Structure 1
Amino acid sequence: MPVRPFAPADIPAVDDLHRSVGWPVRTTSGWEWLSQNPARHAVGAPSGYVLADDQDRPAAFLGNLVHAFRQGERTVYGATGFSLIVPPEKAGRSRGLVKALMTQPGMFAHYTFNANPAAARIYDRIGLEPWPVGTHALKLSWIIDPLVCAAGRGLRQIDDRWPGLAPRLGERLMNGRMGQGRSLRLPTGVTALTDVTDNSPYATFWQALVAEGRLVADRSPAMLRWRLANPDVTTAPLALIWSHEGQVAGHALAVLAKENTIAPPVLEIIDLIALEGHSDAVPALMQAMIDAAPALGVAKVRLQVVSPRLLSQLGGWERRARREGGWGHGHATFAADGLDPADWSPTPLDGDYLICLRPVPISRAPVP
């Protein structure tokens, strides 16, 4: 069975593959939005790959999310796989899909930061190495509502014992605060990010971040506008900035998500980054997200990708966190192009979380 690039005509079959494993199904508008990724267009990459059957219909799928990165004046590109779906009867055919993604040209890195325990073993066997070094198996969370989290663990144990029961239970652990208008009390220095125009204070922050010379995923206003335009979200993201003496020096982005019908709602941190010399930024932004969590109706706050750099910047928040994960969810391979992987400190933004997390199932809200 050949592997070929994903095409718009494949959407119904790929949606069926997502339904078969209980993953969020993207709308047609959502697929169109995903195809508009500026980084994908810059390198002419497909949005994914399919394993085609005898009638050229998708029998398995792997998404291909291209990210642009800046290191000073240099722009490079990396590719992360997402939504690897290989039905049991096609077991063993994932290798061809992953190879197609890993051999696409022009990428400084091919990687995943979202491998589940089963997929993690696949990546180990095909040449991707655990990365970031020291934190590739680490996820951090902060409990907001212990009772709801305990209820979620209980429901998961029931589902483990009686597989297939969860869909019959319906959507659990919901509450009326999710999706409601919110007036949040934010710590000193932290404000909501409302202006992502090309001449905004946020744009100045992005320029300063690039000037530091680190290897950073594209956080330009144009790229952020695309990221925030996902038509399949149901609640507006929590976008924050931290300012010092009138200048933006830190940024955080988080979204409300619910892993499945029996999981508790979570505020998932997508991005958390600050300029050099501003050690107060990350703790202040963390405080803002923790303070906002009860009003948003979530049971915990979670950070699913942690670099050693970010771990040190968290300060006391690192010590208060619960350790999740435990398997190597982060894997990468790097091209020999002179870039030093040590210059890259990824956050969940650099992976597939923003496009793959299951939105909380409520009436859709417009995206600002």
Structure 2
Amino acid sequence: MLVVSIRAVTEADYPAIQALHRGVGWPTRSLAGWRWLHGNPARAEIDAVAGWVVDGPDGQPAAHVGNLVHRFRMGHRTLHAATGFSIIASPKVRGVAHRIIRTFLNQPDVFATYTFNANPVSQPLYGRLGMRPWPDQTHALKLSWRMDLPALAMGRALRQLYRFAPEMVVRMGEQLMNDRLGRVPRLRLPPGVSILSRIGEGSPYDRFQHALGREGRLLADRSPAMMKWRLSDPDMTTPPLLLAFRRGDVITGYAMAQMAKSNIIEVPVLEIIDLEALAWDDEAIPALMGALTAAARPMGAAKVRLQVVSPQMLTRLGDWAHTAAREGGWGHCHIRFAEDAPSPELWSPTPFDSDYAVCLRPLPLADKAKGRMRSWVPLSSSPSRA
């Protein structure tokens, strides 16, 4: 009988963890990408582990849960929370999933442990482990805006074909690519919206983050230092699109979006990773949504998607919430708060607070476009950089 022992991930485990991802058809990171994740500065601050594994009969990891620690700010306080990602248990160690997730949930020094990215098969497990669906009204909601209806129809047809002839579809290889992917588009940005190219200390972006912090909300750390680490992910094939909404020289809202393609038969999607604005500016988020949807087609995206939605965001989206398609339908957001956690009412999470930025499958470009797409070119009267 196999004795199950849960231990912390080490860098030597990453080749085996890559194999686990391949075994379930999930995107795989490079070894450099795993080392980048291991170097998460927020994780190092509280000496948290990078994840846990269970070894199989051959002594190699056969189950895994990643531990992505986030730094949060609330006024002058610094707090930490953790999201579990890449939760995989192979048949070699059947029945250990609940134990390894419980280990993740019981880690110290975090005000919350959660996943905002559960799939329909795994989501019932989280309730049995003491996590609850949250946010209460929107834990099962994803929003999308459709840009390329023929491509989306072809994606649906390929999914149906895969149900009946999966091997044939796999032999077909990567589908639904287009010649706009990975290129530098000329974007028509609405008034007030500009490309965000400067995020260093003392920049207008930095001042925007400080202004957000003065509102007293519970916010994931978007400081220049943390953004520098986020944007240094070596597995990106295209850099994210960063946009700012400005009033004169002052930034009052920003958005981050990343091109991704979840598997060989899905359409390319412009995934909204982050969307934030100062509380008093009701125009910032609708304007940024207008810019994101306008950018989607030139970038080669068939739709724009927001995979974590809070009740506050639904309100702030205005008419954009009414024009969106409703996706999801299962409780993909589950959380367990510590007894001394701040009030959940102070937190309006976005995908930035979860694992989407590190778990999305990058565009499968033959040559990485990082560097080729540094200079986004606006076609508008808005300032070209912020």
Q: TM-score band (shorter)?
A: over 0.9
Q: What does 1:77-116 correspond to in 2, within 5 Å?
A: 77-116=80-119
Count of residue pairs brought into register by the alignment: 368
Partner of 2:187: 184
Give the Cα–Cα distance (whole angstroms) in 1 for the partners of residues 301 and 217 of structure 2.
33
Give the Cα–Cα distance (whole angstroms) in 2 for the partners of residues 231 and 166 of structure 1.
30
Match of 1:213 among 205, 216, 221: 216
Paired amino acid for 2:319: G
Normalized against structure 2, the TM-score is what? 0.93
Give the Cα–Cα distance (whole angstroms) in 2 for the partners of residues 247 and 357 of structure 1.
32
Of stretches 152-161 and 345-354 in structure 1, the one that deviates more from structure 2 is 152-161
Match of 2:61 among 25, 46, 58: 58
Structure 1 residue 163: Cα displacement: 3.4
Partner of 1:161: 164
Structure 1 residue 54: Cα displacement: 4.5
Match of 1:365 among 345, 358, 369: 369
Q: What does 1:37-48 correspond to in 2, within 5 Å?
A: 37-48=40-51
Partner of 2:230: 227
Q: Deviations over 1:45-82 (max 9, x none)?
A: 11111012345420111111000111100111101000
Give the Cα–Cα distance (whole angstroms) in 1 for the partners of residues 51 and 249 of structure 2.
42
Paired amino acid for 1:315: G
Paired amino acid for 1:286: M
Paired amino acid for 2:342: L
Structure 1 residue 338: Cα displacement: 4.7
Distance 1:338-1:99 versus aligned 2 partners, 3 A rule: closer
1:263 to 2:266 alignment: yes
Paired amino acid for 1:122: L
For structure 2, the residue ranges without an aligned partner over 5 or more in a row are 375-386
For structure 1, the residue ranges without an aligned partner over 5 or more in a row are none
Paired amino acid for 1:365: A
Give the Cα–Cα distance (whole angstroms) in 2 for the partners of residues 272 and 55 of structure 1.
45
- Fraction of identical pairs, as percent: 51
Partner of 2:329: 326
Give the Cα–Cα distance (whole angstroms) in 1 for the partners of residues 256 and 136 of structure 2.
24
Q: What does 1:231-250 correspond to in 2, within 5 Å?
A: 231-250=234-253
Paired amino acid for 2:269: V
Name the Cα RMSD after superposition: 1.1
Give the Cα–Cα distance (whole angstroms) in 2 for the partners of residues 250 and 92 of structure 1.
45
Structure 1 residue 124: Cα displacement: 1.2
Structure 1 residue 199: Cα displacement: 1.1
Q: Retained in 1: the 8 A contact 2:81–2:110?
A: yes
Query: What secondary structure is seen at the aligned counterpart in 1 of 2:153?
Result: helix
1:136 to 2:142 alignment: no
Partner of 1:67: 70
Give the Cα–Cα distance (whole angstroms) in 2 for the partners of residues 282 and 88 of structure 1.
45
Query: What secondary structure is seen at the aligned counterpart in 2 of 1:318?
Result: helix
1:127 to 2:149 alignment: no
1:5 to 2:8 alignment: yes
1:345 to 2:335 alignment: no
Structure 1 residue 165: Cα displacement: 3.8
